Amino acid sequence: MATQTASYPGRAPIEAYGNGGFRFAGMSHRGSILCLANSIVAWDVATPEQLTPAGLAPVLAEKDVTRSLLLGTGSRQVLPSPALRAAFREAGIALEAMDTGAACRTFNVLLGERRPVAAALIAID
């Protein structure tokens, strides 16, 4: 997978995942990504242990246009910490944790239905 900085000014389905990165909108990115309301950006999180409200601040900042966050926690599902769940509950954003593959597939379906969804996707090998 060729490396390119993930900075896409729009919404796009995830075309592929694995090998430490993602492909979307004809671009490849090595590392984790945030799929926000109007962009896809690089995300400096590599493991579920690094998940914090501060690390997901870009999603929380979009609480007026995002109703749910699909949290792809890597090769296996890891439940978010109580602090992370509380931050999303307070913002009024549903938080759904699942493995990254399931999060990518679910994101694509909800995106196709034009739902107000975001995704935080930890890269997997």
Instruction: Look up the pTM and report it.
Output: 0.93
User: For residue range 37-58, what is the model confidence (pLDDT) as tens digits?
Assistant: 999 999 999 999 999 999 999 9
Which are the contacts of 125, defined by CB distance < 8 A and separation ≥ 6?
Answer: 18, 19, 20, 75
CA distances, 124 to each of 2, 17, 24, 76, 103 (Å)? 15, 7, 15, 10, 12
**Checking DSSP bridges between strand 32-35 and strand 40-43, what pairing results, if any?**
antiparallel
Q: What's the confidence (pLDDT) of residue 4?
A: 44
Helices (H) and strands (E) counted in the chain, each on its own, are 3, 9
Task: Answer whether CATH 3.40.1230.10 is correct for domain 7-121.
Answer: yes
C-alpha–C-alpha distance, residues 101 and 77, integer Å: 10
Q: What is the SS3 assignment for 77?
A: coil
CB-based contacts of 98, cutoff 8 Å, min separation 6:
70, 71, 72, 73, 77, 106
In angstroms, the CA 89 to CA 92 distance is 5
Q: What is the pLDDT of residues 79-98, one digit of tens each?
A: 999 999 999 999 999 999 99
The overall average pLDDT reported for the chain is 94
Weakest-pLDDT range from 1-10, 25-34, 74-83, 84-93: 1-10
Residue 23 scores a pLDDT above 60? yes
